[in-house]
């Protein structure tokens, strides 16, 4: 296989995704919150990074950029509306660009809500979604609104089922505990818990995961399901008119979980 995707652990639970073309030893770096791990890996494997892709402004996604740019002098792609260090290629919804060294074409999705300007990178049925969607969960509201994040998750939901989701954190088991509190009768949740526990015992990532799988147990993609709405009504004591209301109170429930 000439192309691989490597999750490089960073900080306590981040992944820096490295998209590597082994045929010419080049790579793209997604969300480098730290630099040293990337540099060590590239040195060991004699790989030349050719670009940095950034999903949003948070420090655990951007703090490695400056050091990497100083060493490799490579372009930095990122959201046009957020302060990203060394940004050379500001991007907005539906923008497209290519990375010729990896023969990859990327499409930008506006998936704001976690932060107001958060973007996702879509290529060949792979979505790098930063902190917008996690396996069995979603990002907190740290700049955007519930309506915005709900719309962004709907946008992701409309992608093909086989889309592979590359999230920026290993939060899956914690998220599944919450998912199970919301939908105790959903057997797909327990199946995913068993699967992820086995992976984590081997120190393997629970990611990527297909969108099709996520739709079966991620409560934040299931806010129009009767079972989720019912649970949110009971927990919040609020009237739920629609999927967006359900999402808003579900997000609050998770914040306090």
In sequence order, the 6+-apart residues with CB closer than 8 A to the CB of 90 are 78, 79, 80
Least distance from Zn ion to the Cβ atom of residue 115, Å: 6
| Pick 131 or 214: Cβ nearer Zn ion | 131
Mapped onto helix, strand or coil, the DSSP state of residue 139 is coil
Least distance from Zn ion to the Cβ atom of residue 118, Å: 8
Distance of CA 27 to the CA centre of its chain: 19
CB-based burial label for 12 (10 Å; 0-12, 13-18, 19+): exposed
What is the set of active-site residues? 56, 58, 60-61, 114, 131, 169
Cα dihedral 176/128/120/36 (nearest 10): 110
**Which span (90-98, 121-129, 131-139, 245-253) binds Zn ion, by CB under 5 A?**
131-139
* Measured distance CA(211)–CA(127) in Å, rounded: 10
Does 245 engage in binding with Zn ion (CB under 5 A)? no
**Which span (21-29, 57-65, 74-82, 178-186) binds Zn ion, by CB under 5 A?**
57-65
Does 169 engage in binding with Zn ion (CB under 5 A)? no
Structure tokens that stand for 93 in this block: 């919804």
* Measured distance CA(108)–CA(95) in Å, rounded: 5
Does 222 engage in binding with Zn ion (CB under 5 A)? no
Does 31 engage in binding with Zn ion (CB under 5 A)? no
* Measured distance CA(246)–CA(226) in Å, rounded: 10
**Would you give the DSSP letter of residue 74?**
-
| Pick 58 or 248: Cβ nearer Zn ion | 58
| Pick 192 or 251: Cβ nearer Zn ion | 251
**Would you give the DSSP letter of residue 219?**
G
| Pick 9 or 225: Cβ nearer Zn ion | 9
Location of structure tokens 């069995």:
136
**Which span (3-11, 128-136, 204-212, 231-239) binds Zn ion, by CB under 5 A?**
128-136
Q: Identify the residue among 31, 82, 110, 131 touching Zn ion (CB under 5 A).
A: 131
Residue 186 contacts residue 227 (beta carbons within 8 Å): yes
| Pick 87 or 240: Cβ nearer Zn ion | 87
**Which span (50-58, 81-89, 150-158, 178-186) binds Zn ion, by CB under 5 A?**
50-58
Q: Identify the residue among 19, 28, 58, 176 touching Zn ion (CB under 5 A).
A: 58
Residues of this chain that interact with Zn ion (CB under 5 A) are 58, 131
């Amino acid at each position: 296989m000439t192309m691989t995707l490597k999750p490089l652990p960073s900080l306590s639970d981040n992944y820096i995704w490295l998209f590597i073309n082994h045929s010419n030893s080049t790579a793209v770096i997604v969300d480098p919150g730290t630099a040293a791990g990337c540099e060590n890996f590239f040195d060991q494997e004699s790989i030349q990074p050719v670009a940095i892709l950034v999903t949003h402004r948070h420090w655990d996604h951007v703090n490695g950029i400056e050091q990497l740019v100083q060493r490799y002098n490579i372009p930095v792609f990122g959201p046009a509306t957020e302060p990203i260090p060394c940004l050379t290629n500001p991007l907005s919804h539906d923008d497209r660009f290519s990375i010729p060294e990896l023969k990859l074409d990327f499409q930008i999705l506006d998936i704001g809500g976690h932060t107001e300007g958060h973007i996702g990178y879509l290529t060949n049925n792979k979505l790098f979604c930063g902190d917008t969607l996690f396996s069995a969960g979603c990002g907190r509201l740290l700049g955007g609104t519930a309506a915005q994040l709900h719309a962004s998750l709907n946008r992701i939901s409309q992608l093909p089922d086989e889309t592979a989701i590359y999230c920026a954190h290993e939060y899956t088991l914690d998220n599944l505990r919450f998912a199970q509190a919301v939908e105790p009768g959903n057997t797909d949740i327990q199946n995913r818990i068993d699967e992820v526990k086995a992976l984590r015992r081997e120190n393997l990532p629970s990611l990527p995961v297909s969108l099709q799988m996520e739709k079966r147990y991620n409560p934040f993609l299931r806010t129009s399901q009767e079972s989720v709405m019912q649970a949110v009504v009971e927990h919040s004591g609020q009237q739920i008119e629609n999927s967006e209301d359900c999402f808003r109170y579900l997000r609050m429930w998770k914040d306090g979980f």
